[in-house]
Amino acid sequence: MYVIMDKINLDHKDATFITKKYMNKIINVSKRVSAINNNVNALNGYLNNIIHNLVNGILVYDEDGFIKYSNEKMKKIFSSNKELINKNIRNIIDRDLFPYFLSADTFENKKINIMGVTTKVTKFIAPNGKDIVVTTDRDEKEKSGKNHNQNLLLKGHVAKYDFENIIGTGILMAETKETALKLSRSDLSVLIEGESGTGKELFASAIHKNSKRRNGPYLAINCSALPDELIESELFGYEEGSFTGAKKGGKIGLFELADGGTIFLDEIGDVSPKVQTKLLRVLQEKEIMPIGGTSIRKVDARIIAATNKNLRNMVLEKEFRADLYYRLKIGYLYLPPLRDRLCDIDGLVSYFIKMETAADIKISRKVTDEFMKYKWLGNIRELESTIKYMIAVRTGNVLTMSDLPDRKFFEETINTSPRRFHENDDCRLGSEGISILKSIDDLQNQNIAAGREKISENLKVYGYELTSSQVRTRLCNLEKQGYITKNRGRHGTVLTDMGIRFIKNLNFK
């Protein structure tokens, strides 16, 4: 320092003064820098508080999917109680969201179903050109829709039945429930076919309750109960003044009310071609237009449809749109009639008795034996009605033959003498059941044990290809009806006297 002062001809006595002067300047600058840093830290804290309390979700992650930043709202959207930073987004989001979050595409205000809630999502690249930023938002209309959904839930528009409410321990019902559970985990539209009284509404409810839309509304409509015009207004809604008697302000349709949830269309086979066309648009484009409306509205509701009609035949006869049929049938479920799963009758009877009365009611073996032989064209609903009637008219704590609704109720099967065979026996068993009995008879005549595998192999002669599991289910029904006895080991399944008489009668005819 002194060398510098000599060069510029300054007295050394001034060194201390100059040093103090510049030290004071440095101290003042340091104080200002420190104050600025404190202000920056405070501002960062304020900014973090603001971001964390936003109603919008914010998520930032790198090209490899590792999360760099997430606010509290985004954690709630993904139902996460843990910190998301440094985790890979692949471990946070559902697989069906991968195309949106992990692709190179960017978008703005795209409606995406996240954890059962329809959310507007914007995705863009950060200014550094590498990081990806995702934000979520809901406009006023969606908030209004959410309030509608909450009101619907409060009014009882929820799925009431789960798979545990569906009674049935037989293989046929176990396989059906397993398929339904798998379908519930997807977001596919589902078509449920089955006769009246087989439990289509129970399965639809259970599928919704086990889906990712479980927290959304569940709305059901019987398409056969309303005329064409009413079905349209119920499903798609209408604008004010669109027709005489239209409510002021219009009406929101079920598809909009079910946004983020499920709509169950019962008796879909009864809707007109006009309504079929509109339903096809909903399935294809996820959009509707209310009656009298001029603008299209996006909807996000899963469709589960059910029918007791043969839609395939209706398609062939041009009574039902083929394109709608195949759109609905992406997910398919067939519910077997009660006569094909007779081994479930005991469990159903016990359940209906328990639901109807707290009394310790039993049922005689003779009644349940006759139940096994009855056709049950009304299926489970008919069985339930029968049990309710018998409980109402009983004289004791055991339900007997005298408690049946009418002596003629089971006149096809009630006999005091050995059972005779009539023309309707062939119809009751069906060609498949008859072929199984024939196969067992064929194997017995060849001194071959009639095991499931052998029966399955022999059935091909009669034009049937059944798996070993399917054969076991059919054998269970035939045993309940008294035609066969199942034995373990080398004896296999054998025809009973009743089964032998049936085959002889069949050969005679």
Confidence of residue 416 (pLDDT cuts 50, 70, 90): very low
Render 307-323 in DSSP notation, one character per residue.
Answer: ESS-HHHHHHTTSS-HH
pLDDT tens, 353-406?
998 888 899 999 999 888 988 889 899 999 999 999 999 999 989 999 989 887
Is residue 100 predicted with pLDDT exceeding 90? no
Least confident range of 226-240, 291-305, 442-456: 226-240
In angstroms, rounded to a whole number, what is the distance separating the alpha carbons of residues 340 and 429? 10
Is residue 143 predicted with pLDDT exceeding 80? no
In angstroms, rounded to a whole number, what is the distance separating the alpha carbons of residues 191 and 9? 101
Is residue 428 predicted with pLDDT exceeding 60? no
Q: Cα-Cα-Cα-Cα dihedral of 472, 477, 478, 479, to 10°?
A: 90
Least confident range of 50-59, 193-202, 307-316, 437-446: 50-59
Between 151 and 380, name the one with better pLDDT.
380
In CATH terms, the fold of domain 58-138 is Beta-Lactamase (3.30.450)
Confidence of residue 497 (pLDDT cuts 50, 70, 90): confident
Is there a contact between 437 and 429 (Cβ–Cβ < 8 Å)?
yes
Region 251-266: mean pLDDT is 91
The predicted pLDDT at position 262 comes to 94
Helix (H) or strand (E) holding 111: strand 107-114
The predicted pLDDT at position 16 comes to 62
The predicted pLDDT at position 503 comes to 83
Region 421-444: mean pLDDT is 72
Q: Which two tokens stand for residue 176?
A: 């059906």
Is residue 210 predicted with pLDDT exceeding 90? yes
Helix (H) or strand (E) holding 265: strand 262-266
Is there a contact between 162 and 177 (Cβ–Cβ < 8 Å)?
no
The predicted pLDDT at position 293 comes to 81
Per the listing, tokens 């009310």 go with 257
In angstroms, rounded to a whole number, what is the distance separating the alpha carbons of residues 129 and 107? 16
Is residue 422 predicted with pLDDT exceeding 50? no
Is there a contact between 287 and 268 (Cβ–Cβ < 8 Å)?
no
In angstroms, rounded to a whole number, what is the distance separating the alpha carbons of residues 242 and 487? 70
The predicted pLDDT at position 42 comes to 61
The domain locations on the chain are 2-52, 58-138, 163-336, 348-410, 424-508
Confidence of residue 273 (pLDDT cuts 50, 70, 90): very high
Is there a contact between 101 and 93 (Cβ–Cβ < 8 Å)?
yes
Region 176-205: mean pLDDT is 94
Between 338 and 158, name the one with better pLDDT.
338
In angstroms, rounded to a whole number, what is the distance separating the alpha carbons of residues 243 and 15? 98
The predicted pLDDT at position 423 comes to 38
The predicted pLDDT at position 418 comes to 35
In angstroms, rounded to a whole number, what is the distance separating the alpha carbons of residues 208 and 264? 9
- Superfamily of domain covering 163-336: P-loop containing nucleotide triphosphate hydrolases (3.40.50.300)
Render 322-357 in DSSP notation, one character per residue.
Answer: HHHHHHHTTEEEEPPPGGG-GGGHHHHHHHHHHHH-
For residue 299, count CB atoms less than 10 angstroms from its CB and return exposed for 0-12, middle for 13-18, buried for 19 or more.
Answer: buried
Is there a contact between 239 and 199 (Cβ–Cβ < 8 Å)?
no
Please choose, from the candidates 139, 304, 293, the residue with its C-alpha nearest in 3D space to the C-alpha of residue 213: 304
pLDDT tens, 68-89?
888 877 877 776 667 788 888 8
In angstroms, rounded to a whole number, what is the distance separating the alpha carbons of residues 433 and 498? 14
In angstroms, rounded to a whole number, what is the distance separating the alpha carbons of residues 299 and 100? 19
Per the listing, tokens 């399944």 go with 493
Region 115-134: mean pLDDT is 79
- Strand, coil or helix: what is 408? helix
SS3 string, 221-255, reads EECCCCCHHHHHHHHHCECCCCCCCCCCCCECCHH
- Strand, coil or helix: what is 89? helix
Helices (H), 55-127: 72-77, 98-101
Q: CATH code for 424-508?
A: 1.10.10.10
In angstroms, rounded to a whole number, what is the distance separating the alpha carbons of residues 178 and 162? 13
CB atoms within 10 A of CB 120: 16
Least confident range of 48-57, 100-109, 235-244, 453-462: 48-57
Q: Please state the separation of Cα 298 from the chain's center in Å.
A: 21
The predicted pLDDT at position 152 comes to 54
Long-range pairs for 77-85: beta carbons < 8 A, 24 or more residues apart = 77/114, 77/115, 77/117, 77/119, 77/136, 78/114, 78/115, 79/115, 84/59
Is there a contact between 187 and 301 (Cβ–Cβ < 8 Å)?
no
Confidence of residue 183 (pLDDT cuts 50, 70, 90): very high
C-alpha radius of gyration, the chain, whole number: 36
Between 10 and 182, name the one with better pLDDT.
182
Q: Please state the separation of Cα 55 from the chain's center in Å.
A: 30
The predicted pLDDT at position 140 comes to 40
In CATH terms, the fold of domain 348-410 is Helicase, Ruva Protein; domain 3 (1.10.8)
